[in-house]
Amino acid sequence: MSEIVTFHSSHTASPPAVPVRFAVLMQQRLSPLRDFVAIADDPAQSLPAMRFGEQSLALFGLTDEWLRAPPTPVQAWKLDMEDVVVRSASGVVGDGRSLVVEDTLDHTTPEADGYKILHGGAIDLGAPTERVAGRWLSLLLGNSDNYFHFVLMNLARLFVIDAKDKRSLSGVLVPKTRFGWQREWIEDALAAAGLSALPRHVMSGASCVSIERLSLPWGAVDACGYCHSGAAAFIAGSDGPECGDAAVGDRIYVDRRGSAIRPLENEDELAQALAGRGFVSVRLEHMNVAEQRACFARAAVIVAPHGAGLTNLVFCRPGTRVIEIMPHALLNWCYRRLAAIRWLDYDCVLSRSGGKTAAEATAFAHRVAVDHVLACL
C-alpha cells in the first residue's frame, strides 16, 4: 500500500549534490544504493561479417572495427535504492543530501528537467514536492521522444522484473507523454511484464518527488548503443496486437523524407529505384505501433537509412535481409548489433555525410550511391 504526501511550500530544497556514477556506488556500497543484481547477457552471440558493407567501408578508406574488436555481451543491472529524490520525466536520481547519480543525467538538460548546474559541477535538484511511500519502479529516462531511446533503452528494462519484484512493487513512475505511440508502448510493455494493474505516478519535467524505495532497472542498452539480448527478446514478445494492417508487401523501404534530421539528399531517386525492384516506401510516423510491428514482421527485405525506426527490427523473422544506409562519419552500429542478436541478415551501404565528425553526422545531410544500394540487394 503506497501513500503520497504533498509537502508545504516551506519544505527546504535539497542541498547541492556531487555527480557520482553507478559503478562507484556499487563498488563502494554507497547510500542510497541498497542492493543490486547483475543480469548477464547471452555470451553465445553470432556476429557475422558484412558482405557488401566491407567493400563499402573500404571505398571510404575505413575498416570494420568489429573485425578487430567485436562487441562484448551487454551487462544489465537491477538496482534497489532507498530514500531518494527523483527529478523530472527523465528520472534524475539523487540522495537528497550529497550526491546525484551521474548516469541518470544522460540525455537531460537543466532547462528541460528543472535542475541547476552550480559552480564546480555540483547539481541542485530542487525541493521535492511530494513524499511517496512504498517501493516504486522507475520507467523514467532521458530523451523519451526518441523511439529507440523510449522503447529499447527505457521500456525494455522491464525484462529484469521477476515474480518477487511484482509482489513487492507499490506502483510505477511513468513519464508524461507527448505522442500516441508512447502511450501505446507503455500499455504494451507493462502488460508484457504483468504490471498493468499497478498504480502509476506520472512525472513531468517539473516533477520532483521523494521516494521511500526505488526499483531501477539499468543497462538494457550500453554506452555504445548495443542492446542486451534479453531486453530485445522482451520487446519482441511484448503483448500487443499482432495483426495491424500495414498494407505493404515483404520488401519495404523505410522512408525518412518527413524528418529534418539527417536528410538523405537523393532519397527521391533512391525510393524510385527501389520501387522498380518491388519495394514499397513506408512512413513509420504515419503508423501506430501495431502497424509498425506487422510491417516489420512480414518483411523479407528491408532497406533503411540509419534512424530510430529500425528499433522495429526486433519484430523481424530470423533471416530477414536488412540493408542500412550509414553516413560514413557516423558508423553507429546499434542496429547491426540488434540485427545480430535477433538473427537477421544485416548489411550496409555507406553514404557520404556532410559532417566530418560523428556528432555532426548525426544531424547533417548525406547522399548515397543508389547503384551501390541496388548491388547490395
pLDDT tens digits, one per residue of 232-250: 999 999 744 444 455 578 9
Q: Which residue has the cell 498494407?
A: 247
Query: Which DSSP category does 262 fall into?
Result: S
Where are the domains positioned within the chain? 4-40+75-236, 251-376
Q: How far are the Cα atoms of 180, 190, 194, 286 from residue 187, in angstroms, in the given order?
A: 11, 5, 11, 20
Quote the pTM value.
Answer: 0.92
The distance in angstroms from the start CA to the end CA of the chain is: 57
Question: Comparing 45 with 215, which gets the higher pLDDT?
Answer: 215
CA-CA-CA-CA dihedral for 243, 247, 252, 257, to nearest 10? -110
Question: Comparing 316 with 12, which gets the higher pLDDT?
Answer: 316
Cell of 60: 571510404
pLDDT at 10: 42
* Phi, psi of 166, rounded to the nearest 5 degrees: -60, -35
Alpha helices (H) in the chain, listed in sequence order? 22-28, 51-59, 65-68, 110-113, 147-148, 163-168, 180-192, 229-236, 267-275, 289-298, 334-341, 358-361, 370-376
Structure confidence by residue, pLDDT tens digits, 249-307: 899 999 999 999 999 999 999 999 999 999 999 999 999 999 999 999 999 999 999 99
As a whole number of angstroms, the distance between CA 209 and CA 356 comes to 42
Are 333 and 348 contacting, i.e. CB atoms less than 8 angstroms apart?
no
The beta-strand segments (E) located in 12-150 are 18-20, 33-39, 76-87, 92-94, 99-101, 116-117, 123-124, 130-138
Mean pLDDT on 351-368: 97
Whether 377 shows a pLDDT value over 90: the answer reads: yes
253 forms bridges with which residues in the sheet? Answer: 281, 303
Q: Which CATH class is domain 251-376?
A: alpha beta
pLDDT at 180: 95
Mean pLDDT on 41-60: 89
As a whole number of angstroms, the distance between CA 184 and CA 181 comes to 5
Q: Which residue has the cell 543530501?
A: 97
